[in-house]
Structure 1
Amino acid sequence: MVLSVNRIELFQEAIQFIHSCYDELGISQEEQLMRVKEIEEEIIQTGTYTHTQSELTHGAKMAWRNSNHCIGRLLWETLEVFDERQVTTAKDAFEKLKHHVDYATNDGDIRSTITVFAPRVQDKDPLRIWNHQLVRYAGYEDGATIIGDSASIEMTKLCERLGWRGNKTPFDVLPLVIQEFGKSPRLFELPKSSVKEVPISHPEIKGISELNTKWYAVPIISNMRLDIGGIEYPMAPFNGWYMGTEIGARNLADADRYNLLPSVAKLMGLNTKSNRSLWIDKALVELNIAVLHSYEKEGVTLVDHHTAAKQFKSFEKKERSVGRRVTGNWVWLIPPLSPAATHVYHKRFANDIMTPNFFYQKDPE
């Protein structure tokens, strides 16, 4: 049987992946050729192929290693991979996602984790999750005022259309919205015991704790697809742990998010009427100190941006030592606070996209 164009492209991607993956795992050329032959026969018969457990596991790790946006790739080999491709229902998927949250959180000793569900077949997704992250705060429009996270307004409206009602506080945890193919999306709420949160305080500026601000422990990205050897996994939530600036210089600081800098500046007695006072910079540093202090106080894994940059330098060295090229998106790799104080700022990286990798995908409908 002659392969169609689509099947030829899939087979070519599979060949490239198998050789790269098996070489890294120390598997012989003979075994590689046998596996390639198996895949060819499967693609001829079915139009697709199925990864073995070891292929899925190492492929997911390779995807993290190839993620140009991520500065924390040094520990890519430590990723814990849960294979849940057999799951078919939203209810069972929720149980697996809850397990992911609990396992990854680990009472604050965060573990890098990915849970992989069934692959896309002929443009059909057996399961999809609508959420951007497994834990995320709701956002409500109250006239011209936003309560909570403005980045979550549309997701919050969707949850409300599906029957969910939050308390309209700044930190309501959104439910998970999971959809089986051909069925309406369903709501599932994570138990409070699964969602570890960190109250934000400062070692010296006591008033910061009175702002009653907090953030969740683990960033678990859930709306990207995992691509391994031409096979697309549309539901494969994954996490590392936070770099402090993600929270202190973006989520809590951005004017269109929680916008805490004016409040912090007021507590510090800064002159906010003049940009030349650098009140924004001073408040930004102290807010980031508060985040680092708070996560350490609560025993939750967090890395500061200077340490993260040094770890990335070690990653570069390690990759060069095995003959692999380091790719990266410079705009994403530089930290949003004091970027010029890190080596990353002074380097340039080829933003070539390598696979396996994670990719943005169209939202479910």
Structure 2
Amino acid sequence: MITDLLKEAEEFIRTCYRELNKTEQEVEHRLNELNEQIRNKGFYEHTNLELEYGAKMAWRNSNRCIGRLFWDQLNVIDKRNLKTEEEIIEALFEHIEYATNKGRIRPTITIFSQKASNQKVRIWNNQLIRYAGYKTEHGVLGDPHSISFTETCIDLGWEPKFGNFDVLPLVVQINDHHPKVAQIPEKLLLEVPIRHPNYKWFNDLNLKWYAVPMISDMILEIGGITYTAAPFNGWYMGTEIGARNFADESRYNMLPQIGKLMGLDIKSNISLWKDRALLELNTAVLHSFKEDGVSIVDHHTAAQQFKKFEEKERASERSITGDWTWLIPPLSPAATHIFHKPYNNDIKKPNYFYQPNPY
């Protein structure tokens, strides 16, 4: 165990310090410190510099992310000193406000204390902001993806509202303590009503979506050290909302309703009604976010940005890794360069990893 940690720590420090143009003397001095800490305590702690650059490297190494061009612009907020659920919840409120930035989204990560024998922080939410899902006798209300977590929140005392877009509370747990539940203040929530530039009936669908996707259930691993609570965000690519959240049959499943309102023949696949409805739904999402001044990117621009990322990585003599099945956008993938080339899906560290649900 200690041998593995020493190896991962050394690999990270050498890469990190080389990229930051540190001297060989600084590298060796730091490695000696780590060696002593790990052998005496069984772990080590990252400096502010290592934490910040490690989190950025983790974004750069995220094979499923098409938005990695901006990896070095990640804002890293160090909250490793916080000890109580109340302090952590307050820091999550701060993250939401800072990242949202009145619509001018800032890529941000807030990092809480590292996993240790006597310390483990978990955020139960899949994303800091997410809509509730309710099973009813008339079918599902809200987001089906959230049914299990919504039921958990209700069991913890949260009052359900039984709407289509009810923002779930934050649930935070330290060690095996009873989890703390906190509703996000409305003043921190930025949501975008979805309307179409040409179809006025689109307003009557009463669709909306939250401005910032803040992933909060993944592990951040840097140099053998694990952070079980490190919520992070970029900004949305339009298809995440328009081609998945609203369109998937297992989510809001809006395509049949939109197809009907467009006057399409939804009984015949040959009419390509799904494709036409999908296009207009994505048009509406991009139009609404842009009109409200909320950061978003279309999938063609995102693919061009990823191509620039690839070029910069090659220029830095770093190998490019990627998960093709995630990198291709769910709308018109063959119209992007990503569709037409293979990617090496090897996992590099630092990185973000999934962890089991705590509920």
Letter in structure 2 aligned against 1:320: R
Letter in structure 2 aligned against 1:39: L
Instruction: Identify the residue that residue 19 of structure 1 maps to in structure 2.
Output: 14
Taking the aligned partners of 1:285 and 1:53, their CA distance within structure 2 comes to 45
Instruction: Identify the residue that residue 289 of structure 2 maps to in structure 1.
Output: 295
1:37 aligns with 2:51: no
Secondary structure at the counterpart of residue 300 of structure 2: helix
Q: After superposition, where does 1:196-211 map in structure 2 within 5 Å?
A: 196-211=190-205
Instruction: Identify the residue that residue 94 of structure 2 maps to in structure 1.
Output: 99
Superposition misfits of 4+ residues, deviation over 6 angstroms: none
Instruction: Identify the residue that residue 314 of structure 1 maps to in structure 2.
Output: 308
Instruction: Identify the residue that residue 342 of structure 1 maps to in structure 2.
Output: 336
**TM-superposition CA deviations, 1:229-256 (whole Å, max 9, x none):** 0000000000000000000000001111
- The correspondence for 1:149, drawn from 139, 143, 146, is 143
Deviation of the 1:175 alpha carbon: 0.1
Taking the aligned partners of 2:262 and 2:358, their CA distance within structure 1 comes to 45
**TM-superposition CA deviations, 1:22-46 (whole Å, max 9, x none):** 0010000111001000000000110
Taking the aligned partners of 2:35 and 2:67, their CA distance within structure 1 comes to 36
8 Å CA contact 1:88, 1:126 repeated in 2: no
Q: Give TM-score, length-normalised by structure 1.
A: 0.97
- The correspondence for 2:323, drawn from 321, 324, 329, is 329
Deviation of the 1:182 alpha carbon: 2.6
Secondary structure at the counterpart of residue 19 of structure 1: helix
Taking the aligned partners of 1:166 and 1:200, their CA distance within structure 2 comes to 24
Taking the aligned partners of 1:195 and 1:108, their CA distance within structure 2 comes to 11
- The correspondence for 2:81, drawn from 59, 62, 86, is 86
**TM-superposition CA deviations, 1:290-313 (whole Å, max 9, x none):** 000000011100000000000000
Taking the aligned partners of 2:53 and 2:122, their CA distance within structure 1 comes to 23
Paired residue total: 359
Letter in structure 2 aligned against 1:317: E
CA distance 1:125–1:272, change in 2 (3 Å): farther
Instruction: Identify the residue that residue 206 of structure 2 maps to in structure 1.
Output: 212
Taking the aligned partners of 1:144 and 1:319, their CA distance within structure 2 comes to 51
Instruction: Identify the residue that residue 114 of structure 2 maps to in structure 1.
Output: 119
Instruction: Identify the residue that residue 233 of structure 2 maps to in structure 1.
Output: 239
- The correspondence for 1:71, drawn from 66, 79, 94, is 66
Letter in structure 1 aligned against 2:106: R
8 Å CA contact 1:128, 1:178 repeated in 2: yes
Letter in structure 1 aligned against 2:32: K
Deviation of the 1:144 alpha carbon: 5.1
Deviation of the 1:166 alpha carbon: 2.0
Deviation of the 1:116 alpha carbon: 0.2
**TM-superposition CA deviations, 1:259-284 (whole Å, max 9, x none):** 11111111110011100000000000
Instruction: Identify the residue that residue 186 of structure 2 maps to in structure 1.
Output: 192
- The correspondence for 1:223, drawn from 209, 212, 217, is 217
Deviation of the 1:75 alpha carbon: 0.5
8 Å CA contact 1:60, 1:356 repeated in 2: yes
Deviation of the 1:71 alpha carbon: 0.2
Q: After superposition, where does 1:233-272 map in structure 2 within 5 Å?
A: 233-272=227-266
Taking the aligned partners of 2:357 and 2:149, their CA distance within structure 1 comes to 11
Letter in structure 1 aligned against 2:214: I
Taking the aligned partners of 1:349 and 1:223, their CA distance within structure 2 comes to 26
- The correspondence for 1:53, drawn from 48, 57, 61, is 48
8 Å CA contact 1:88, 1:127 repeated in 2: no
Deviation of the 1:126 alpha carbon: 2.6
Taking the aligned partners of 1:43 and 1:103, their CA distance within structure 2 comes to 35
Secondary structure at the counterpart of residue 46 of structure 2: coil
Q: Which deviates more from structure 2 when the two are superposed, residues 130-139 or residues 177-186?
A: 177-186
**Gap runs ≥5 in structure 2:** none
Taking the aligned partners of 1:89 and 1:46, their CA distance within structure 2 comes to 23
Identity, % of aligned positions? 55
**TM-superposition CA deviations, 1:155-211 (whole Å, max 9, x none):** 000000011012110000000000111311110111011110000000001111110
Secondary structure at the counterpart of residue 196 of structure 2: coil
Q: Give TM-score, length-normalised by structure 2.
A: 0.99
Taking the aligned partners of 2:52 and 2:267, their CA distance within structure 1 comes to 54
